[in-house]
Structure 1
Amino acid sequence: MKSKLIIYVMLLGVLANGYAQKAAVERADKKYERYAYVDAIKTYERIAAKGYKSVEMFQKLGNAYYFNAELDKAAKWYGELFAMTQDVEPEYYYRYSQSLKSIGEYAKADEMLVLFNQKSGNDLRGKLFSQNRNYLAEIKANSGRYNIEDAGVNSKYSDYGSSFSGNQLVFTSARDTGSLFKIKDKWTNQYFTNMYSSEISADTVLGPVKKFARKINTKFHEATPVFTKDGQTVYFTRNNFNNGKKGKDANRVVMLKIYKATLVNKEWDNEVELPFNSNNYSVAHPALSPDEKTLYFASDMPGTLGQSDIFKVKINEDGSYGVPENLGFPINTEGKETFPYVSNENELYFASDGHPGLGGLDIFASQIAKDGSYRKVKNIGEPANSPKDDFGYLIDVKTRKGFLSSNRVGGQGYDDIYKFLETRKLNCEQALSGIVTDLETSEILPDSKVTLFDDKFTLIKEVKADDKGHYEFEVECEMTYYVRGEKEAYETKEQKITISNVTGKTDLPIQLEKKVKPVTVGDDLAKAFGIKMIYFDFDKWDIRTDAAYELEKILDVMKEYPNMKIDVRSHTDSRGSFEYNDKLSGNRANSTMEWLIKNGVKKDRLTGKGYGERELFNKCADNVECSEEDHQLNRRSQFIITAL
C-alpha cells in the first residue's frame, strides 16, 4: 500500500597558435647581450627524425598538434607513442582515436574507442554502476549525522511533505478533520490530502495542528507547498481540479499540477495553475531556489529519463516562466527522482530509487556549483534514510534542524513526519586554486587560460587567470582532476591532482615553460630542455642511448647557431674520493665532447672540464646523510654558452 501511495504522490509524487616571439636585440659590442631562441617542438621533431624514441617526446609532439587542431600530424606522433607503449592515460586513446578519424582510419579509430571505454568507464547507466560499486561503504561513511524523532504531528493516516512558512510548519496530510463529506481516494483507500499547519516553538516542538488555507483546499488532493520568503506567495500541488471541475487525460486519469496562490487580506486566494502544466502528464512538488528566481519540481513530462525526473524553470521578473529544463545527469536516472528541495546553502536534496540506496526511496544531496552545475550525488546516510521510503527533506541551515518524511517501521501512519538535528554536514567543500607563472623567471602570467577536466578528461570549466595570475575552481572532495594551463608562446601543461576529503583549499601552482626559449652567454643550455644529467653506467663514461637522446638536443641547437660555443661541465655527487670523482667527471666531460665532435660540432667550439664534487648543488657533502634523490641532483651535466 505504501509504495502505491508514494507512486500516487509522485503522480502527486592547447598549445596556442604559432607565435614568433620578437626580442629587441641590442647591437652593443658585448656578445652576451645577444639572444638565441630555441623552439623545443621543432628540436624534438628533428631528433625524432633521426630515430630517437621517447614516450615523453611523442606525447608532447602529439599534444602540440592535437591542441592546435592539426589532427593529421597528431595522428603521426600518437601512432609513434602507441607503437612504443600502450601504458598511457586513457585520454590518449581518445585523442588518438579522434586523430585517426581525421585521416580516414575509422576501423583503427573504433579499436581505440573500445579500449578507451574499457579503461575509462561505460555509458550513463554503466557509469553509475562503476562509480558506485562500494555504495554501501559510502552510505556508511555518510551515516550517523542525524538525531531523529517523531515530529509530534502525525496521525494514523499519511502525513508528509512539509514546508516552512514563517514560524509555521505547513505539511500534507490525509487525515479527516470531520468534514461532512468524507471522500476517499480509490487508489490508496485514504482520504484525499489537504494542507495543515503547526506552529514551531524555539526548541522545535510543534503546536496544535490546524487546517491551512481553507479557501484553496479542495475535496481532492492538495499537497507539498512551498512559500516565498515574504510569505505572500505559495506554490503547491493539486489534482487537475479547478473551478469545481476535474481535468483528465486521454485515459481518463486525473493528473497533478502545480498551482500558485497569493495572500490577500490574510486569506490565500487567486490560485492559478502554472503554464507548463498539462492534462497529459503530471507536474508536482514545487521547490524554490534561495533567490526565488528558479522553481524546481518533479514531472514525467516528455523528455523525462525515467519514471519521473527533477526539472527546473526560470521565474522571470514579470512573473512569467521560462521553458522547463530537465536537470539531467548526475541528478536524474532511469528510475524515479522526486520531492526536490533547495536549501539556503544551494544544496539540492531529492528522493530517488534510481541512485544506489538502502531500499525504496532514499534522500540524496548534490551541491549546486556557482556555474549552475551539480556536484556528485551523495546518499545522506542512516538514520535519515532507511530500507523504506524516505523523502520530503527540509532544513533550516542556521539551526541545522529540519524535517523529513518516511514510512519506516515504527511510525504511526502510512507516512510520518520526523524532525531531526543534523550534527555534521554532509558535503566536504573544496576550492582548487593556484598562480600561473613562468617556469624560468617565476613571472606572473595573467590572462592564462586554465581548464578543469574530470578524471575521464571531460571538460568541466574554463577560466582566465586574473591580473595576479590567480585562478580558482569549485571542486569535489576525494575526486581526481586534470588541470590544463595555456598561454600564447608557452607550452601547454597538464597536471593531475586528487582533492583532499577535508573541507578547505587545494593549492596547485602552474608553471608554464616557454615554447621559444631565450638563451644568452652564460646560460645553461641544458635548462632549456630540462636536462638534469647525462647518464653513464657505473664507473664508466661511454655515451649510452638515453644519454645520446639528450645530447641530440644540444647538437641540434649548435647546428642551428654555428657561432655558438659551449663549455661542458660534468659533476658527481660526494660519494667516492675527491681524486676519483675529479677523474670520473673529467672522463665524462671529455666523452660528451667527443660525441658532439663525432656528430659534426667543430672542436674549437667546445671546452670542457670535470668538477667532481667541488660544486655540489646542495648540502650533500661527505658524511652528510642524504637520500638517493638528493645525491642525484649533484650528478649533473651543464652546457654553458660561452659565445654566440
Structure 2
Amino acid sequence: MIKRILILILVLVQTAMFAQSKLMQKADIYFANYSYAGAIPLYEKHLKKNSAEVDAIKKLADSYFLTGNFSRAEFWYEKLMIYRDQVENIEDYMFRYSQSLKAFRQYKKADEWMEELGKINPEDRRYQLYKGNPQYLEIIEMNSDRFIAVNSPFNSRYNDFSPTFFNNDILFSSSMAEKSARKVRSGWSNQPFLNLYVYSNGKLSTLKGDVNGSGHESSAALSPDGTTLYFTRSTNSINTGKGILKIYMAKLQGSQWKNITEVSFNSEDFSTAHPTIDKTGKRLFFASNREGGFGESDLYEVEILGDGIFGEPKNLGPAINTEGRESFPFISSTNRLYFSSNGHPGLGMMDVFTCDFEKPNFQVYNIGEPVNSTKDDITFIVNEADKNGYFASNRDFGKGAYDIYQFNRKEQLRTDCESVVIGSIVGADQKNLIKNATVTLKDLNGNVLGSSKSDGSGSFSIPTSCFVGQQEVIVERDGYEKSVTTIKVSIKTPEVETQITLNEVAPLLYKDLITTMNLAPVTFGDKNTKLNEDSLSVIDAVVKVLQDNPSVSINIRSHTDLRRNYTFNLSLSRKRANVIKNYIVRKGISSDRLLTEGMGEIELKVNCGFKVRCSEEIHKQNRRIEFVVVSK
C-alpha cells in the first residue's frame, strides 16, 4: 500500500513539473515572438510556484518594461538584482532597472544603480555618459519650460504616435479601431495593428491607397517634392520567422499612394525603420539594429542617389549613438537633428534630444520638460519657422496608451553655459600674495579645461563651462608645495571664487623625509626583504614628494639590527634598499633620482653593546629605512 502511495505521489509531482515546463515553454515562445502581452500572465503563473527562477524573472521584467508597465517592471527588476551574479549581460538589466526607477522620479536610487553598472563595466557608454554629466538634471531643468504642449484633438483611446508634416496636414500612425473593427491585435501591446491616418481641417481619414496593410504601418516621411512617401511596415523575417521592421516607398498616383516597394538597404536579418528626409531630399535618416552598431538601435543616414537608388548606410557615430536605444530621428529645416534616446542621461525612458550634428565637436542636449517626461517621449517634429510642432508620449493622464501632443516653442534651447573660476593665491601667513604661479583647471577625468598665471596681486581668472560640474584647480610654483583644490561649477552658480594657500617647501637637503614629514617607520620582517603592508603607504608619501618636486633626488639608506654577522647584515640591508627603489620606480619615478646605500649594522640608532641583551623594541628602532634628500 505504501509503495502505491509513493508511486502516486511521484506521478503527481512529475505531472506538475511537466505542466510547469510546458507553461514556461509557451511563455518563451510568446516572448521570442515579441508577444509580450501574451507572455506576461504565463510568466506570472509560473513564478508563483518557481519564485527564484532567474530566466523567468528576467523575461517577465523585460515584458513589463517593453509594454510600458514600469511599476511592475521595477518590481521584477528589483527582484532580479538579488540574483545578479547569475545573469549574463547584467548591465542591460541594471540599466533598465534604473530607467524604471526614473519613471517614478526616483532619481537618487536610479543613479545609484548606474554607479553599480559602472563597477561591473566602466567602459559601458551609458555609464560614461551618466558619469560625464553629473549635472544632467540641472541641465534638463535649464532647458525646461521653453515649450507649451497640449493634447492634440485627433488622439484616440489607442496608440497614436509618429506625426509627420504632410503638406498642410498631419499624417500619423494609430491603432484606433475602424468601422471594420479590426479584430487582429498586436501580441506586443494587445492593441489593434497600426495604420496611417491623415488629419486635415478637423477631419480624420485613413491614408488613401495601398500603404495600409494587414500588419503595422507607422513612422512616415514625405519627400520635399511630395511625390514619394517613405514609411515603416512590420513583417516576418524570411530567415528567422520573427517580426522585423522595414522601410518601404510609395508613389503618389493622383490622390492615391500606390506602387509599394522596399528600399534596398533593408534586410531579413535586422530591422530598418522610422525614416526622415532632410530639406534637400538627398539624404534619408533612419533607425536600425543592424550589426556593427553601438547599441540596441542606432541612427544612420543614407544618400538618395535617384528614384529608388541609395548609397551605403552610414552610422551617425558614438556622440549620438549609445549602448542604449536611439530612434525616431527628425531633421529640421535648419538641419538640426532631433531624436529619442534612453542612452543619454534623461528624465526616464525615451527622452527627446537635439544636436547640430554636422558641426565639429557638437554636443547632444536634452530639450527638457514639458516635451520630455518620466515616460517615453518620441517622434518629435518641429516647424522651425513657425516654432510649432508635435511629439508623442505615453505619459500619465493621456487619452490613450500613446498620445500625440502639439506644442509652441516660447524660447530657443540653451546650448551653452559659460562660467568663470576666479581666485587669489596667498602664502601660509595669508598676507604674502604669490605671483607667477601656474593655475590649471581640469575635469575629474584629467582633461585640461583652461590655464592661467597669477598676476602681481596673486589673482587669476579662467573661463570654463558650467556643464562640467566638479573641477580641479591645480596650482604650482617653484619653492611651494603643489596644491589641488576641488570646486563645483553649476548652472545656478556660474561664477566661482576661491582662495588658495600655498605652503613653502621646507629646506630638506640632507634631511630624512621620515623624520621631516613625521612618517611611520618603514618595516621589514626579521631577516627578510618583504615589505610589510603598512609600509607601502609611507613609501607612497615619499613618492608624492618626488612627484611634486621633480628636482629632488634621495638616497635610500637601509639599516639592520645587531643580530647575525656583519656580512649577512650588510647584504640584507642592500637588498632591502633595492626592494624599495624598485617599488618607487614602478610608481613612475626615474631611477636616476634614487641612490641606495646598505648600511648594515654600522650606524645603530641604539647601541646596546656586546654584553647587553637588546630588547625587541630596540632591534626595531635599529632596523630602519631613511630617505635622505641629496639634491634639490
TM-score by length of 1: 0.46
TM-score by length of 2: 0.47
Greater length-normalized contact order (CA 8 Å, ≥ 6 residues apart):
1
